[in-house]
């Protein structure tokens, strides 16, 4: 028994060959981004994208950096609930241009939500965030008891 659908190397689905194979392939090709890149990729957002995140750890704290250009501080909402850090944002863009007798108005809407489970070692009362040059930075200090202790030598008596 043959499968009804094959997946090509680029991830697009093709009908395996029933009596309407030519028609199905034509429909698949019509909506294939590679076939009409100017139409599909410039006018439609075909995927949901989340901001890229860098997370690093030092002896004293964790740092989260998120690339979110074009937003304002007021667009963000950062919450902690049951050891889960949630970062969300909503951003509305409206633009109106008038040229002669032609008026064009464009608008857009961006939103996202990222969540991170925090380790028990975080001092959640001292978390700080700042937004600068398109980067949201969050500083997550560790509790004193979670920080590594320096090596000490014990003398033998």
**What was the pLDDT predicted at 100?**
67
Containing structural domain, residue 124: 53-146
Do 61 and 105 fall into the same domain? Answer: yes
Do 63 and 136 fall into the same domain? Answer: yes
Do 69 and 95 fall into the same domain? Answer: yes
Model confidence at 54: pLDDT above 90: yes
> Quick one: tokens of 14?
């093709």
Maximum mean pLDDT: which of 38-42, 81-85, 99-103, 143-147: 81-85
Model pTM greater than 0.85?
Answer: no
Look at residue 157 and tell me if it is in a domain.
no
State the CATH number of the domain containing residue 138: 2.60.40.790
Kindly state the average pLDDT of the residues 84-101.
80
Q: 5 CB contacts (<8 Å, ≥6 apart)?
A: 13, 14, 15, 16
Residue in the structure block whose two tokens are 């608008």: 107
- Report CA 123 to chain centroid distance, whole Å: 25
* 33-51: pLDDT as tens digits: 444 444 443 444 444 578 9
Look at residue 154 and tell me if it is in a domain.
no
Cα–Cα distance measured from residue 107 to residue 94, given in angstroms and rounded to the nearest whole number? 4
């Amino acid at each position: 028994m043959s499968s009804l659908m094959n997946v090509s190397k680029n991830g697009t689905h093709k009908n395996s060959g029933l009596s309407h194979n030519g028609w199905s392939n034509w429909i698949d090709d019509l909506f294939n981004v590679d076939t009409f890149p100017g139409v599909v990729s410039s006018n439609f957002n075909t995927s949901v994208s989340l901001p890229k995140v860098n997370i690093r750890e030092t002896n004293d704290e964790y740092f989260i950096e998120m690339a979110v250009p074009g937003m304002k501080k007021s667009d963000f909402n950062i919450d902690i609930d049951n050891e889960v850090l949630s970062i969300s944002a909503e951003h509305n863009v409206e633009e109106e241009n008038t040229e002669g007798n032609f008026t064009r108005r464009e608008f857009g809407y961006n939103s996202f939500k990222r969540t991170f489970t925090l380790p028990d070692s975080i001092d959640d009362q001292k978390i700080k965030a700042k937004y600068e040059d398109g980067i949201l930075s969050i500083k997550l200090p560790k509790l004193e008891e979670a920080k590594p202790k320096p090596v000490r030598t014990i003398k033998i008596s």
